[in-house]
Amino acid sequence: MKISRIKFVLLFVILAFVFLFATTSLLDQPPESLVGSGSQAAWKSTVSTILSPIKIILVGPLLPFINFLRQDPDTPPPFFLVGFACYWTVLALAIHYLARKIKHA
């Protein structure tokens, strides 16, 4: 199945936002927490542990960006979304490139 680069990047960014929203709202943890807190229910802690490698890749490199923007209380929320979207676009392009390279090898 061939998928265009633009379609892949759009799907990746949309699914990354959905993943971040779902883990934040369903697992009751802030986006910058990469592993679950101890006060969670057993199933939430287990799911947080299983999903933590994915969350480390999606959010981990952005932690300095998040901490820097949180220092300024006047920072509008779209800066967080723009930062996530920019990083995830680069990540999606790299994954798409590597997948094409492996497929053609």
Percent of the chain's residues with pLDDT above 90: 25
* Spatial CA neighbour of 62 closest among 22, 25, 91: 91
String of b and e for 11-46 (b: at least 16 CB within 10 Å)? ebbeebeeebeebbeebebebebbebeeeeeeebbe
pLDDT at 93: 95
Ranges of each domain in the chain:
5-104
Q: How confident is the model at residue 1 (pLDDT cuts 50, 70, 90)?
A: low
35, 45 in Cβ contact below 8 A? no
pLDDT at 98: 92
